[in-house]
Structure 1
Amino acid sequence: MTRRGWVLFLALGVIWGVPYAMIRIAVESIDPVVVAFGRTAIGGLLLLPVALYTNAFRGVLARWRMLLAYTAVEIIGPWVLLGYAEQTLHSSTVGILLAAVPLIAVVLVTMLGHDHFDGRRTLGLAVGFAGVAALVGLDIDLTAPAALGAVAVVTIGYAIGPIIYDRTLADLPALGVVTASLLLAALVYTPFTAVSWPEHIPADAAWSVLGLAVICTAAAFLVFFALIAEVGPARATVVTYINPAVAIVLGIAALGEPLTIGMAIGFPLVIIGSIIGTRSATARVRDAVPVRT
């Protein structure tokens, strides 16, 4: 990998590891749907001029049904549910749980008949899900299952999204798909935001929403597309394994979250399991362009 590739890779790993802490700060005083609306609306509007200039919307609107399906499972549902979950769970815990997305994707792809289980795949799934079990069993208060269920739904949605993208939208400009998805999500959020808008937005929450939109959404996708152009889509998606580590560091250093036994055991197992379990995944799914937190 070139020096520029490494810079882009590390920058994106940090940028996509930051949102968990920002979401945690924002939802302490703002309804999760308002946070999601601010992020999608501002991020989409920032990307819009670039998409228009590069003619990235060509063919996108003609497939609005699949665009809506993709947006629903990648943004509309997940970004609200993540905010809801982080009202209860530590941001670092959520980051680790979402590291299991590649494992869920492997299961779904296999169920669809596009791949098959072998010894290495089975071992990877067993190790990864053991890590999730360790994290849940040792760290999470099971008397509040709604937050854990919300993260589970997000994990499944994040696994389904790239499959929808790959089968129905992959031949379209990625920037156009992402920008249209963000603006479509903002439109869906609008009526819910109107009835949930707070009387007062604290400065730290406002800055967090702005950071989510500008840095973790608009800038992140521009960096991501530059990374794909530099190193290819397969290597670019490996950044998924960096995000949880950044989330853990920020959660501990910035938010005072504890480094627990569950995290110490679960995080390495989830990452190792994901690497082993997805190593032989089909290129089509591995190379799908994700929309991530």
Structure 2
Amino acid sequence: MRVAAPELGATNLASLRIIIAALTLSPLLYLTATKFSKQKSIKPFIKPIIFVGIGNSVLPFMLFGYAAMNIDAGLSSIINGVTPLWGAVFSFIILSVTLSKSAWFGLFVGFAGVVVLSSHKLTHGVNAEVFAILAVVTATCLYGISANYSKRFLQGVPPLLVASSTMACSAIIMLPVLLSSSLEWSSVSSNAWLAITCLGVFSTGIAYVLFYRLIENTGPTKAMMVTYLIPIFGVVFGNVFLDEQLFINMLFGGLLILLGVMLTTGLIKPRK
């Protein structure tokens, strides 16, 4: 995203990422939809699938694209670690799941971590970097809404069908947006094309298959534990490949987010 976004822009980046991912997942969509349609009608699930596609792909990918143009990949990936916190918040709102006192405290600690993490950017006042940080927080919020909405309204739909069908719906939405773009495509470098292709095929298409298979086999709570690894890889790869600078507050903020997530998701429980 950091390589491709400056050349493509946030909207074109999101459009291409979604369309490439949808093409990657199209054989899976055909197989799962054919099998599912023999057992049940898919019509009652079309509106929820479209909603999840918009909330889990279209809007977050645009927000992450905007963030990639303004802040480091490492910083963005650490903020992405608050996704399980939003998952807990909206499980309370949408699914009426009761949160313990330690879970509520974990929410406070996690979001305080975002402030600590972003403190070296906030000292310059409200600017594009601050809006980029808010964009990532908003994207993670949308992930939390979509995950819980999917759990409530897409019960009985195989996870792999959810992954492929939501991406297909997102691609249909974004195709006219891409076609109406005024970008000079001939000016886009080969590095940017390679980056967006890898992002669409591997980091979105194949990653969705792996993640939804993980949900199917281990359950959503354990599957979301992979979120803890994203900041580590984001910071390391950002430093190694993009020469991104590391700040001490990023370490403390990241640890606070991790602690908050562990409290909220019940990995750390108070002794009785």
**In 1, Cα distance between the equivalents of 2:211 and 2:94?**
28
RMSD between superposed Cα atoms in Å: 2.2
Whole-angstrom CA distance in 2 between matches of 1:161 and 1:48 = 21
Does structure 2 conserve the Cα–Cα contact (< 8 Å) formed by 1:104 and 1:159?
A: yes
In the alignment, which residue of structure 2 is the partner of 1:38? 16
* Residue in structure 1 matching 2:126, options 143, 147, 161: 143
Runs (5+) with no aligned partner, structure 1: 1-22, 282-293
TM-score scaled by length of structure 1: 0.81
Q: Per-residue deviation at 1:262?
A: 2.1
**How many matched pairs?**
259
Q: Which residue of 1 aligns with 2:98?
A: 116
1:279 to 260, 266, 269: 266
Equivalent position of 2:147 in the other structure: 162
Residue 203 (structure 1) aligns with: 190
Q: 1:61 to 1:177 in 2, by over 3 A?
A: farther
Quote the sequence identity (%): 26
1:87 aligned partner: 69
Residue equivalent to 1:50: 28
SS, match of residue 180 in structure 2: helix
Maintained 8 Å contact 1:57/1:177: no
Q: After the TM superposition, which of the residue ranges 122-131 and 95-104 deviates more from structure 2? A: 122-131
Report which stretch shifted further, 150-159 or 263-272. Answer: 150-159
Distance 1:230 1:109 in 2: 21
Matches of 2:189 and 2:155 in 1, distance apart?
40
Distance 1:112 1:190, change over 3 A: closer
2:96 matched to 1:96? no
- Are the aligned partners of 1:96 and 1:267 in contact in 2 as well (CA < 8 Å)? yes
| AA matched with 2:235 | I
- Structure 2 CA distance, aligned partners of 1:32 and 1:253? 24
The answer to whether residue 170 in structure 2 is matched with residue 185 in structure 1 is yes
Q: Match for 2:18: what amino acid?
A: T
Please, which of 110, 134, 137 is the counterpart of residue 128 of structure 1? 110
Q: Which runs of 5+ in 2 are unaligned?
A: none
Q: CA deviation at 1:245?
A: 1.1
Question: TM-score when scaled to structure 2?
Answer: 0.87
Report which stretch shifted further, 152-161 or 193-202.
Answer: 193-202
